[in-house]
Structure 1
């Protein structure tokens, strides 16, 4: 069997920055084990498999090298980039997902890809897991949690850049990941994302977690529109807008690879 494959750098306008995702369009779903093997072979943060349902409507599934993921922003951006720029789809896309409902995506007038995500505002924790405190080298000033991750608010932007993490400690928090965040001087807020239990040590840019970060920081700033930077080694820029029960997360993409899989 031969399949098309694309690799897109998401949340960036420059190659070799942002977060790379593979995109594999399929006519019928492959066996889960085969999709997992393809994702492991690709060895990127995520591989997105998309299957057309009707015009502009697709099922989407996301796999890390370790497991299937129930929500991934950068691979959704990558899949949309491929549909808009390589396959020639226009208008509003709709993705059906297993865990987070339907997601709408469109191309903005300035060429960004805007994704509508559910608002996943985190809530403050009454009891903080010791593995979280022991797994970060800098003590958070606030800790919250949503369905995806623990949110550790650090005292400063420099702390986000400098913090070290203990992967073995953070693995004890599975199935939850950990995001560290702080106010930024150049942007509105910065973050880093650690997910040793689900995909790797540090994710370069995590679109999905901004469905929680944006509502949190919108509340702190008392405004809906925010600019975020994920400060990994590759780095990524995200534009966020909180609209009630939805969070719009926008960014750019760059094609790196187009090829064929033989499986």
Structure 2
């Protein structure tokens, strides 16, 4: 995905959506619509009861999803259904607990479902070998998450432990809250590029085409999540098509990715 977007002279668009928000069938339709509208990578959020790294928008989405019966196994079944309709790369965006509950069979189950990579929010990449190594052995990428205050040495260690791409957080706080890029993010992306050949994607707080253009000018990928989750929920809640609302927003963002 990153090679293709680079060849097209633009940043890749990485889209986050919460599985089972508002239910399995409608979240699947939203995922398919996002892929067809031009998302390059899909991050599928696994609903979890204690999503400490997420802001109110995604916390609310996870609450709705859990009420709809969401689970990691159900999320993998959704990915299997998605795979029949799209070849978009899928990154499972999860906390460690659901993976640990699935046990030793987790890597094979993820791979069989069609998952390409995993980002574990609450397990630092350098210390995550107990999860990372079995996942990597199953052919899954381990996406490292670098915070805006992460030291240079630690950022290098996270990048070294990663595969697929590295996710640089644009600013402090939780997902979807606040706005704008941390003033140091350009330097942090450059620092990562000095220690890894992996693509660097930047997210947390990207909402508008202007936000996307600023990120696209300095990173290999632009991550958009809470904004799309909010639009999808508003659409479904109003009795209309939340999937179409997400697709329209992606269509608005795509032109801003060109360099």
Q: TM-score, normalised by structure 2?
A: 0.28
Larger Rg: 1
Query: Per residue, is there more strand in 1 or in 2?
Result: 1
Query: Per residue, is there more helix in 1 or in 2?
Result: 2
